[in-house]
Structure 1
Amino acid sequence: MDFDLNEDQSLLRDSVERLAADLYPSLESRQARLKAPLGFPEEGWAAFAELGVTGLPFSEDEGGLSGGPVETMLIMEAVGRNLVVEPLFASLVLGATALRLGGSAAQKEKILPGVIDGSLRLTLAHTERQSRYDLHDVATTARRSGQNFVLSGAKSVVPNADAAGLMVVSARVSGERRDPRGIGLFLVPTDAAGVAIEAYPTQDGGRAAEVSFSDVTLPADSALGDPEGGLPLLERVVEHGIAALAAEAVGSMDALHKLTVEYLKTRNQFGVSVGSFQALQHRAVDMLIQLEQARSMALYAAMMVEAEDPAARAAALAAVKVQINKACRFVGQEAVQLHGGIGMTLEYLGAHHFKRLAMIEYQLGDTAHHLRRITQSENGLLAA
């Protein structure tokens, strides 16, 4: 199997890496960008849009770049390596995937121009306080009212909701709270009457929000696909999210490993660099092994996220998340220990990579959750 990038993919990788490095040349520049009202400056988002990143997953006929999972992987690695705070994960991955896979021709015609040129940002609102990682646990309701739907309920930890113009919201049209049937995905403008957004910064430098819906009236064409059969689409969106997080984690772990090795080479103790101690060399190598295993899993995720077999795809992405979670914890903790006290100070870049890796470990499912999914899978190889 050929793992080499083609010319277009190499050009995309180099362009995005160069832009991210220009926007984030230092920790101080990142901290300054976080002070913007939305947690990132608009000119940074505009720069990614000008590069074509915001239109990546859409076809050329729709005005996009016809990018696939490999292209998304390359972008998200750059996001992780440079600790980018622009909401590419929320809009480019979660929101855009829902629209790409579930949107009608009319919906795409109306929404895509703004998404592609960067004037409209998307996000996904699916987590509820009682649901943890169970996508089918939906208490938010969308009751039918004539030709419309009336949305009521609340969503938690919605990424970059205050920066989005449109949310993809999961809501129950019929059935009980944990029924897999009866769930729809709806396009909800963030400025619609009855929508309240309480935004806050997250520990890793991002932003999220608690969002409530009080009798929000939505037209019938706001539903993505079948309004009572939206769970498979939501699962597909989360699978793409896991693949993107895997790539972001690889980028962040790669940067953190390089920081750690450089520190070991320059930190002196007992008259020599601590990197000359064999025990510390072994630990740095263990970090590298975990990083390379994670890199392999990110490639596996990019290959499997578009697989036609839903069961095989779900089991594969669950396995990816388990290995990525373990690698995030191991590499992050080893980096802090090998750095000593400086590894935990907010004035040091490595600490911010550690915080982002810690958040990725729990985003879209922790290790225990995905291990349960694997053991419940009908795929014997993965279940073993």
Structure 2
Amino acid sequence: MPILPVEAYTSQDWYDREQERIFSRTWAFAGLVGDVREPGQYISVQAGLNNIFIVMGQDGQLRAFHNICRHRGTQLLRAVGNTKKVITCPYHDWTYDLEGCLLSVPDRRNQFPALDMASLGLKKASVASWRGMLWVHPDENADSVEDWFGGVEPYLGPHSVEQLVEYKSGRAEYTVAANWKIVVENYIDGYHLAHLHSGTLSIYDHRRIESGFVGPHFFFWEPLSPEYAANVEKNASSPLVIPAEQAGAWVPMLFPGIGLAENEDSWSVFHLTPLAPDSTRVVVRTKMADASLLAFASQSVRSYSFWSGRVRGKYDSDDGDDPMASGDFMQEDIYACEQQQKSLQSPYFEHGPSAMNGEAGVRRHQEVVMAWLGEEQ
């Protein structure tokens, strides 16, 4: 049976405790290494209760700070941009250098005659790069990102992420009307793959899934279907990013909400951000082979006969907006998550049985959440 009660997916109190005890105390995905390439360039991310930005200094070093002015707490920087040589608060123009030191305060002599500038530098956070991604932790002295993810790394794909390319079409954003845990549980549910996605993910052999947990992190691998694998170099819709003999799908969920989809012709990160007890933002960023437009077009032509008529919706429908007829696995997943969230409001809802193997990961994830919240099962 499931571990978590219904209120874990609907209650503001649960949501608030998760923000404080989980998302504010773990390493958070901030972006890709290429997002911050030159001095003054920055990105910011919400890590639980903390907004944190990464900026490259004039010395080429990445630093992370809490996005809070030391005067009245105004957020200093917006989501992404380039602040050139200094960081200036929009409220009262307090100005900091790229190393976080307070440089100037307007009318300091008259308004703050005894101000100790040296004690009012920006609050530091931790920043690290790992597998081509940038990560932040609210604690300046956090354990290393390698320690946090080290146990699960042997179960990840053989992809050289920094050698791949994120094209303009490689980014998508969704707002899912469901609790973040429902989205995570859908991601790690092996039981649904052959059913909900019967028309969209048939190129993988769902009978041979290998999955489990290392610490709080979920790992997942499945091979290609025999028909697809027979000539994957020809059948893949895009140029391969790993050798054909290694082709398969590595689809881990790194705690608390960073999914990876590492397969034969692409690499993606799914970044989940809880917005409310019943709302989750999912940003998907995809990287593919560093190849010419001609190479992509040629591969599309080569694989046309394999893919023709193969991808289809679960149901036929004349409604062009029906997610179950879309032939898009993301739309199928979003539909399933949102319908489940709706059902939790019904007084007639009760937990049904949980699949012994296919939903074992769901139960284990719920136990992990309980442990981080300090709750009794």
| Alignment TM class, shorter chain as reference | 0.3 to 0.5
Structure with greater helix percent: 1
Q: Which has the higher contact order (CA 8 A, sep 6+)?
A: 2
Structure with greater strand percent: 2
TM-score, length of structure 1 as denominator length: 0.32
TM-score, length of structure 2 as denominator length: 0.33
